[in-house]
Structure 1
Amino acid sequence: MAAFRGTVTYSPAYTLVPTYECFNRCAYCNFRAEPGSQEWLTLEEARDRLLQVRPRGVREILILSGEVHPHSPQRPAWFERIYELCELSLSLGFLPHTNAGPLLRPEMQRMKDVNVSMGLMLEQVTPKLLETVHRHAPSKQPEVRLEQLRWAGELGIPFTTGLLIGLGETMADRQETLEAIAQIHNQWGHIQEVILQPHSLGSQQLWQGASADAAAFVETVAIARQILPPAIAVQIPPNLLHRPEILLQCLEAGARDLGGLGPRDEVNPDYPHPTVAALDEILRPQGWHLTPRLPVYAAYDPWLPASLQAPVQAHRQSLAQASGAIAPAKTSLPSHSHK
């Protein structure tokens, strides 16, 4: 057995998709459906699914949705369905985390009441992707996404963002995106983690670009760890790292989180999540300790509305009892009690 190297976290998660319909047409997408082509997830269907997974140790419910155009007459109903799914998740003892594309600022403000954290992939800040893979994706304009990160900071929302790697951007483009995230975090202190997601060719996408180069991806992890503030965790998706040695190299380079692990990766359905047991078999002999976490990091608990703090603390105590550990302390962060 190798000497202890450190802790690697993951979130025991389950994903609810209110709709796959999306007005964007990203060329690499394996998720979207054409607007008007499907029935949306009902609350009754969602309740049945959540009751089925409740005994399995799931703590995070990721509400992941295709995007309805901001000026569509369906936008209010879409937003209400997402809000109701968050309420339902809370009522059944779960902790919601919503990633539904760019939201209007009043929508973000309201979502804060029913989410312990939220997220939006920045992807890349270079505008040149608007001429290629994002040519038909209006909400992928970099400034729209940067504005979301700023609003989340102003509203005191614990936030996850990230980069898609291998879309035709350069290493300099990746560094610029990481620097933009670091700059915004340094102003508000709200970004919990940054996902580095390698493009992995899927069966439903239009663009036939190659999967991200593994060596360059590991290098990007190392660069991210150098650029991002230490408090931000670097997250990597283990199902998209196709050999165990790549996962281990990413940990050596500074990654420390594996994201939400559940029955299905809705964004990359061709690549199933490995089980926790399978990951532990890879990590433990190399000295890494795999441990579950909540979708809100402990340092951000004081930022949450009072109605969310009790369920979060109940989950923290449950995790601590399961591991025989003491619940993590709340370290100092900027106050958002006035928001």
Structure 2
Amino acid sequence: MGTEQPIGVGQGSDRPAAVGRSHQRVATYSRAHTLVPTYECFNRCTYCNFRAEPGQSPWLSLDSVAQLLPLLRRRGVCEILVLSGEVAPGSPRRTDWLHHIYRICELALGAGLLPHTNAGPLSQGEMAQLAQVNVSMGLMVEQVTPKLLDTVHRHAPSKRPELRLSQLIQAGELGIPFTTGLLLGLGETESDWVDALGAIAAIHDRYGHIQEVILQPHRPGQRQLQSGMALSEAALIRAVTLAKAALPAGVTIQIPPNLVSQSGLLACLAAGATDLGGISPVDEVNPDYDHPTPESLAAAIAPAGWQLRPRLPIYPQYDVWLPDDLRSLVQNWRSSS
């Protein structure tokens, strides 16, 4: 990130002159709140700032969720991002864990909110079950090169590339609007990025279900097991350029705005990114890097001709894929926005 600071209130004394309204382009974001059913995870990725050891993270109380959701609805939140650590396949607690996630999503729907779950690799039956209570789902491919299994993913069984890609295929077979993405700066090469983007594009060409691809640069955090270098912003901009060339036109490129400087964000937008993800009070994956507020983010991108607009966690072209009850709730949000 160099000497520049992440985007925040009060930055921008060197901003370019304002651009006329007629030339504005649109960048989107989701009014989100992240709920973590559990931080426990059987993977031990060396760069992770999220996980707790299995059995060392109490599961999120359903009573506390039920009390919180109406408050979030009144604050204008639309998306409930259910982001969970992974209970190992074959664990005697796996069924209870999945049911717990299902109940959180049910509560969110009951409060009029739109769940989007990312809970690691799932069986086809597990994914189908959660699809009943989610308007979209997601899983980062991260990287498809197997060489990371000898380094940062040495103790991460669910980070096998073929397993990650199989999740995209399952989602396509089940007709689930899906978000995926790459983690950048784990020791992979630019050629590896091209391979991963090509694999995502090929699966989308077959099923047409990939809404977004997140390009998430590694930023060191205080809790990770092994120190690492931050991905340079020049490399991130290059990744956006490659993604723009590799991905089908209908797939949106997303950049986490808390992990880039203002100038880096504007360069990423110029290179082809158009979405800034879910803006929640805390970035659970990168807790050392505060999210900007929508107001400060809008102010940061406006002088370069960009208008910030909220979106739902499901893109409009996928509404018809939803069961009737979920589609009705989504249409209520669309008609009220």
Q: Same fold (TM over 0.5)?
A: yes
Is residue 2:294 matched to residue 1:276?
A: yes
Query: Which residue matches 1:140?
Result: 159
Question: Which of 114, 124, 129 pairs up with 1:105?
Answer: 124
Shift of 1:51: 2.6
Query: Which residue matches 2:333?
Result: 315
Normalising by structure 1, we get a TM-score of: 0.93
Query: Which residue matches 1:292?
Result: 310
Query: Which residue matches 1:197?
Result: 216
Query: Which residue matches 2:206?
Result: 187
| Higher RCO by CA contacts (8 Å cutoff, separation 6 or greater) | 2
Q: Percent identity?
A: 59
Query: Which residue matches 2:324?
Result: 306
How many Å separate the matches in 2 of 1:156 and 1:37? 35
Shift of 1:5: 3.9
Shift of 1:38: 2.3
How many Å separate the matches in 1 of 2:293 and 2:310? 13
Deviations 1:20-62 (A, max 9, x none): 0000000000000011112111110111222332211100000
Code of the aligned partner of 1:234: I
Query: Which residue matches 1:169?
Result: 188
Code of the aligned partner of 1:2: V
Deviations 1:266-292 (A, max 9, x none): 000000100011011111111101000
Q: Secondary structure at the match of 1:25?
A: coil
How many Å separate the matches in 1 of 2:164 and 2:265? 28
How many Å separate the matches in 1 of 2:87 and 2:98? 9
Question: Which of 195, 203, 223 pairs up with 2:242?
Answer: 223
Q: Secondary structure at the match of 1:192?
A: strand
How many Å separate the matches in 1 of 2:292 and 2:240? 21
Code of the aligned partner of 1:277: E
Q: Secondary structure at the match of 1:36?
A: coil
How many Å separate the matches in 2 of 1:123 and 1:82? 23
Deviations 1:68-103 (A, max 9, x none): 011000000000000000000000010000000001
Q: Secondary structure at the match of 1:114?
A: coil
How many Å separate the matches in 2 of 1:198 and 1:219? 12
Query: Which residue matches 1:58?
Result: 77
How many Å separate the matches in 2 of 1:202 and 1:233? 27
How many Å separate the matches in 1 of 2:299 and 2:66? 34
Shift of 1:207: 1.6
Q: Secondary structure at the match of 1:30?
A: coil
Question: Which of 277, 302, 322 pairs up with 1:259?
Answer: 277
How many Å separate the matches in 2 of 1:38 and 1:273? 24
How many Å separate the matches in 2 of 1:258 and 1:38? 30
Cα RMSD of the aligned pairs, angstroms, is 0.7
How many Å separate the matches in 2 of 1:201 and 1:282? 24
Q: Secondary structure at the match of 2:250?
A: coil
Query: Which residue matches 2:103?
Result: 84
Unaligned segments of structure 1, at least 5 residues: 320-339
Code of the aligned partner of 1:145: R
Unaligned segments of structure 2, at least 5 residues: 1-17
Query: Which residue matches 2:13?
Result: none
How many Å separate the matches in 2 of 1:36 and 1:154? 33
Query: Which residue matches 2:19?
Result: 2
Shift of 1:226: 0.6
Matched residue pairs, number?
A: 318
How many Å separate the matches in 2 of 1:221 and 1:5? 20
Deviations 1:116-161 (A, max 9, x none): 0000000000000000000000000000010000000010000000
Range 51-60 or range 13-22, more displaced: 51-60
How many Å separate the matches in 1 of 2:70 and 2:328? 21
Shift of 1:6: 1.1
Code of the aligned partner of 1:189: G
Normalising by structure 2, we get a TM-score of: 0.93
Shift of 1:227: 0.5
